[in-house]
Structure 1
Amino acid sequence: MKFNGRYQRALVQIKRLCYSGLDDRQLRNEIIGLLHPITKSDLCCFQTVDPATGLITSNVREGIHDHAVSDSEHVFFEHLYFEDYLPAYRRLLHSGFPVNRLSDETSGNPGKAYRHRMLYAPIGLDDEIRAVMHAGKNMWGTMVMAREKTASHYSEQDAWLLAKLAPHIGAGFRTAMQQRMAATEPEAAPQNMDIPGLLIYNPGGYIESYTAAAVHWLRELGELHPDWCRKELPVYITQVVSALKRSQSMLSDHDFEIVPELARHGRNGRCITIKAYEMSADEDKDRKIGIILGPAVHRDLIQFQTAAYGLTPQEKAIVHLVAKGNNSAEISAKLSISTHTVQEHLSNIFDKVGVRSRREVVKKIFLANLFEGAKSL
């Protein structure tokens, strides 16, 4: 599609921003500022996601800021994200065109959509456009924009602009994560606080108790609202709780793919995992949810590291075998590929990770951000 002058300028400016070394929050704020004069959106939610699970790790919101939006966000995380948005994002990721418009889905009548009635109509919004920010085959972020009913629907140019930008923004998010990993120093980890923390989530929608270690990790992940236990739960807590509920409901095939855990990088760059599980109780209705927060271990980080470097499934398999000490002939036999193909894959892995040897690959992928033993290789 041929863009007009404003769209073309925004495309060039945003593409440059994606490779300017900004952290993901700065990048999102800058992009929203450049898109707003063109898209004229009344609400924009721009998220980073865990590439392993698709769960939202942080959200930048611009536009409507009031109590009604907070209520809509509860509906979004509690019901719509796993029922509608996450399956749609996965389809878009593999469709070849990572953007869709609500007006297209509903033949020009957004009010026919369930998410319109649940999410947008109550706050006076109408049409929506959403996009997946990807790098390779991994989803690194999502964007949702909506307009008031009095505005025109999003145009084909709007959709094509976001589609053109999606891989560059995804690459920008991935680079931001790599920079955080590279900047992390082992000495930055608090030596006396490696124990996991525990939150107890009440089915009524609030945290009823917590450990001191949990508060430590929450603060490492960002500022805490004074009423964070009840009215201002961090978005990643809401995400894992909703993921657990949805994974247990098994209402659709997509529910089998939902994992109630995610990983985020803290302020000092360290990777922190958040995991939810159902606690035992005499009656189902009394069951509370336990949420564990703590430093990531090897198995938690591997998916992040391989996604960050854009490794293919075959390259990931080879990296795992290399880490176990297999030589090229053994890898060849186990994967049923030639030794020449193994060497080609290793060469590609070295280029992507930025190393020159198998030893360096193992160190960078398996030990990056792990403070215990990180200097032993």
Structure 2
Amino acid sequence: MRRLQTDIEGICRLGLDSQTLRSQVMARLRQDVRYDAFCFGTIDPWTLLVTDDISAGIPPGNAALASYNEYLEADVDKFADLARTGRTVGILSHSAGGDPRRSLRFHTVLPVINAEHELRAVFLADGECWGAVSLFRRGEQTDFTPQEAALVRALSRPVAVALRRACVNTSPTAAQGVPGPGVLVLDKVGRTVVANETARYWLHELGTLPLHEVAAAARAGRGEEAYLRVRARTGRWLSLWGSTLNGEPDSGASVVIQPTPVSDVTRTLARAHELTAREQEILEQVISGRPSMGIASVLTMSQYTVQDHLKSIFAKFGVRSRGQLVARALGIPSADGTA
């Protein structure tokens, strides 16, 4: 166990982007915990919805099916349950009382990949969930063991910390103007019925997984939790809100996509860069364009104190100016061309 944990912790210290980090973690994990397929997603720690995933051995086009089971069917080892209880790891057969056929997921999701065994885990740091993984084995393989579950459980915090850091490490691409809100309507099986041009633009940056997550969460009656903050492929922060049509879960869902409010961006950045509460307040003020004198007035402190906090924030973000700080925070190129 110690060798695996040491190797994974080394990978987590490399400062990799999220997808590369997850790929390398899975490659190393497979040496000790064998699997035939996997799906490794990042998680919004406030709503516990999946924001992005990488996978292997799983046919494409099944995001709606997985989201439906996760939010609309009663089942064992839901990611949110593993996170909220702090249990972190679950083996399907064990959680289903020794018979995995008691799980709906065994009959709906696992057949897609010809699997009969599943191990699920979430990655927690400071009480917040930043990622989740499902490992699968086909029927001819042996089931996952408690010893293998213990190996994965030991990785929870270092992987979570690395995912938290990686969520803000996407390099921004050139801005091309920011369109308005995108609106989509999905039917009850997750097919897009209507989408405006802006929605299609945003989906090109996001992919479809976040769309199915918020739609399923809305249909499950999760209300304000049918919401995601996602860093798109371009580095831009986007938010998705899901709601049911006419308040009827069986009638489908609508999803609105638009740039994330600054307050939500800074909340995520504060965790990723380990800002203090006061530094988070100052970052919000800087992003809003307020000068140091104005920040000092609003937050009732001296300009010298503001400057001291700014120096600390610059160091944590690895930038040298307000322009670079705002660009790094919002996922846009800075005026001097740096990321």
Q: TM-score, normalised by structure 1?
A: 0.69
Alignment of 1:157-168 (within 5 A): 157-168=147-158
Query: Which structure: greater helix fraction?
Result: 1
Distance (whole Å) between structure 1 residues aligned to residue 327 and residue 227 of structure 2? 20
Mapped pair 1:199 → 2:160: no
Distance (whole Å) between structure 2 residues aligned to residue 159 and residue 260 of structure 1? 30
1:280 CA displacement: 4.9
Change (3 A) 1:129 1:75: same
SS of the residue corresponding to residue 120 of structure 2 reads strand
Change (3 A) 1:319 1:365: farther
SS of the residue corresponding to residue 175 of structure 1 reads helix
Alignment of 1:64-103 (within 5 A): 64-65=58-59, 73-81=63-71, 83=73, 88-103=78-93
Structure 2: stretches of 5+ with no match in the other structure: 286-294
Change (3 A) 1:205 1:93: closer
SS of the residue corresponding to residue 35 of structure 2 reads coil
Change (3 A) 1:197 1:299: same
Alignment of 1:199-278 (within 5 A): 199-203=184-188, 205-222=190-207, 234-247=208-221, 255=222, 259-278=225-244
The answer to whether the Cα contact below 8 Å between 2:122 and 2:133 also exists between their aligned partners in 1 is: yes
Distance (whole Å) between structure 2 residues aligned to residue 89 and residue 259 of structure 1? 14
Mapped pair 1:354 → 2:316: yes
1:207 CA displacement: 1.7
Tell me the C-alpha RMSD between the 2 structures.
3.9
Change (3 A) 1:85 1:13: farther
1:49 CA displacement: 1.4
Change (3 A) 1:79 1:189: same
The answer to whether the Cα contact below 8 Å between 1:45 and 1:60 also exists between their aligned partners in 2 is: yes
What residue number does 1:369 align with?
Answer: 330
Distance (whole Å) between structure 2 residues aligned to residue 161 and residue 117 of structure 1? 27
Mapped pair 1:55 → 2:49: yes
SS of the residue corresponding to residue 168 of structure 2 reads helix
The answer to whether the Cα contact below 8 Å between 1:297 and 1:370 also exists between their aligned partners in 2 is: no
Structure 1: stretches of 5+ with no match in the other structure: 223-233, 248-254, 329-342
Q: Deviations over 1:331-375 (max 9, x none)?
A: xxxxxxxxxxxx9xx99xx689838xxxx8xx969992176x999
1:320 CA displacement: 5.0
Which of residues 13, 20, 26 is equivalent to 2:14? 20
1:46 CA displacement: 0.7
What residue number does 1:295 align with?
Answer: 259
Distance (whole Å) between structure 1 residues aligned to residue 202 and residue 272 of structure 2? 23
What residue number does 1:334 align with?
Answer: none
Change (3 A) 1:288 1:246: closer
Q: TM-score, normalised by structure 2?
A: 0.76
What residue number does 2:291 align with?
Answer: none
How high is the sequence identity, in percent, across the aligned residues? 23
Q: Deviations over 1:255-306 (max 9, x none)?
A: 46x611212112221101122234459xx69956332222112233243223
1:241 CA displacement: 0.8
How many aligned residue pairs are there?
Answer: 316
Q: Deviations over 1:124-178 (max 9, x none)?
A: 4223211111222211110111222332221222112111111111111111123
